[in-house]
Amino acid sequence: MALYLGLPKRRTRADSVAGSLPPAPVDRNTVPAAGLVDRYGRRATDLRVSLIDKCNLRCTYCMPAEGLPWLPKQAVMSAEEVLRIVRLGVDILGVREVRLTGGEPLVRADLLEIIEIIRTAFPTLPISMTTNAVGLEEKAEGLKSAGLTRINVSLDSLHEETFRALTRRPFLGQVLAGVEAAAAAGLGPIKINAVLMRGINDVESPGLLAWALERGFELRFIEQMPLDADHGWTRREMITASEIRELLSMEYVLTPDPRARDGAPAERFEVKARLPGNGPVLGSVGIIASVTEPFCRDCRRTRITAEGRVMSCLFSREDVDLLGPLRDGASDELLGRLWQEAMWVKPRAHGMDHAGLDTPQFVQPDRNMSAIGG
Ligand code: SAM
Ligand code: SF4
């Protein structure tokens, strides 16, 4: 078993474009004894665990039409291995909330078991899940009973044709039924994630907001990031946060939400109808401006891929294997150390916020979003 115990001495590409940096310590003794802390003082408490790389949709901004070479089953963490990682995070490393993701977590046959064993181990831990909601209608009650706290559903269009163009699958009806079932099962507050694509669903943004507000869901628009397997993303084509605010402002008045952001990726706005004298507050909307208004400075996330590798950042070009050592019998102490070291070298910023974006300054990671766990 090859175990790495020294601190990596490299600087990452994102660091190199991040301007002047404080010197990065290279002595492993400087890794704090507790918690998932990085060289810039950020502490990761929000764990995203990918349960599977497979998915039943083919969203154009994420997956290629033909899918990807899926991981062999034995390469993916088992339910017990997921629990061991979550235990390590919560009991030893300061993780305070867990989000299950993928690929598509609903595709995983033992999803209920995974949730149940985490819930039994941690009765009060917030456990959420990000899902495309295909098949959720039948599973929502079971997920709630197993101990899931709440869900985020990804939904980019309310029109069958547009939905099909974006996901390459005709499942809009299933997704809508799934969201309603989740609400009925008590898996709220429900957040809806939408990615806007120029000329495809950007015009739908006020309609999506109206739909979410009527149902009491919190809609969050996510800027399209260069994390598609097809490498088709361009800075010119993506819809920016500023454009999203403009699109919504045609029908609504947005005011910055007075509640503290508290490390959340979404900047939240209170929404009022655009009426003479303004109407009452209808709800709120979030904008996750990862590309044009990045929030790396206050990032609290740590990610584990389906094959048990730590990714300190969505845009990391390096990851650290936990599952191999875990299967070889590594102690919690050693696994914790590996995880801490992986987080210690988290880049200061992803590098996309520097002008150019499609210039050589920013290099798209090899993994696409479904292979990381968004
Ligand atoms: N399959 C589940 C789903 O779609 O909700 C969970 C995994 S998916 C990778 C998690 C989130 O990543 C989704 O909300 C999706 O819209 C978002 N996503 C995927 N590719 C993206 C990209 N290139 N830019 C921005 N968001 C992306
Ligand atoms: Fe699947 Fe989610 Fe990627 Fe869409 S965004 S292809 S639903 S993993």
pLDDT score of 308? 98
How much is the average pLDDT of 223-231?
90
Check the annotation: does 215 bind a ligand.
Answer: no
> Do residues 135 and 106 make contact, with C-beta atoms less than 8 angstroms apart?
yes
Please tell me if the CB atom of residue 57 comes closer than 6 angstroms to any atom of ligand 2.
Answer: yes
Segment 328-368, tens digit of pLDDT? 999 999 999 999 999 999 988 887 755 444 444 567 888 88
pLDDT score of 361? 59
Please tell me if the CB atom of residue 63 comes closer than 6 angstroms to any atom of ligand 2.
Answer: yes
pLDDT score of 33? 59
Q: Looking at the predicted structure, is the pLDDT value of residue 191 above 70?
A: yes
How much is the average pLDDT of 297-306?
95
More confident residue, 183 or 317: 183
Could you tell me the pTM of the whole model? Answer: 0.90
Ligand nearest to the CA of 104: 1
> Do residues 342 and 39 make contact, with C-beta atoms less than 8 angstroms apart?
no
Q: Looking at the predicted structure, is the pLDDT value of residue 29 above 70?
A: no
Q: Strand ranges (DSSP E) for the chain?
A: 36-37, 43-44, 46-50, 97-101, 127-131, 150-154, 191-195, 218-222, 252-256, 267-273, 281-288, 301-304, 309-311, 320-321
Q: Looking at the predicted structure, is the pLDDT value of residue 47 above 90?
A: yes
Helices (H), 297-349: 323-327, 332-344
Share of the chain above pLDDT 70, in %: 89
Helix or strand or coil: residue 29? helix
Nearest CA to ligand 1 atom 4: 132
- Which residue ranges make up each domain of the chain? 3-21+31-372
pLDDT score of 25? 43
127 CA distance to ligand 1 centroid (A)?
18
How much is the average pLDDT of 147-172?
98
Q: Looking at the predicted structure, is the pLDDT value of residue 296 above 80?
A: yes
Please tell me if the CB atom of residue 305 comes closer than 6 angstroms to any atom of ligand 2.
Answer: no
Pairing of strands 97-101, 309-311: unpaired
- Sorted by sequence, the CB contacts under 8 Å of residue 228 that are 6+ apart come out as 60, 61, 62, 63, 368, 369
How far apart (Å, rounded) are the C-alpha atoms in residues 146 and 61? 32
Q: Which residue has the tokens 């508290």?
A: 262
Q: Looking at the predicted structure, is the pLDDT value of residue 317 above 70?
A: yes
Nearest CA to ligand 1 atom 5: 131
pLDDT score of 15? 38
Q: Which residue out of 54, 195, 301, 311 has the highest number of ligand 1 atoms within 8 Å of its CB and is therefore the one to mutate?
A: 195
How much is the average pLDDT of 224-253?
92
- Sorted by sequence, the CB contacts under 8 Å of residue 160 that are 6+ apart come out as 170, 172, 173
Segment 58-108, tens digit of pLDDT? 999 999 999 999 999 999 999 999 999 999 999 999 999 999 999 999 999
Amino acid letter, residue 130: T
Check the annotation: does 6 bind a ligand.
Answer: no
Of the pLDDT bands very low, low, confident and very high (cuts 50, 70, 90), residue 262 is confident
Q: Which residue out of 52, 57, 61, 196 has the highest number of ligand 2 atoms within 8 Å of its CB and is therefore the one to mutate?
A: 57
172 CA distance to ligand 1 centroid (A)?
16
How far apart (Å, rounded) are the C-alpha atoms in residues 171 and 112? 23
CATH number of 3-21+31-372: 3.20.20.70
pLDDT score of 365? 80
DSSP type of residue 151: E
Q: Which residue out of 154, 179, 225 has the highest number of ligand 2 atoms within 8 Å of its CB and is therefore the one to mutate?
A: 154
Is the Cα torsion angle 66, 232, 174, 114 positive or negative in sign? positive
Nearest CA to ligand 2 atom 4: 59
Question: Which of 20-24, 165-169, 366-370 bottoms out in mean pLDDT, i.e. has the lowest?
Answer: 20-24
How far apart (Å, rounded) are the C-alpha atoms in residues 116 and 102? 18
Segment 200-221, tens digit of pLDDT? 999 999 999 999 999 999 999 9
81 CA distance to ligand 2 centroid (A)?
24
pLDDT score of 32? 52
Most confident of 33-37, 92-96, 296-300, 364-368: 92-96
Pairing of strands 267-273, 46-50: unpaired
Q: Looking at the predicted structure, is the pLDDT value of residue 27 above 70?
A: no
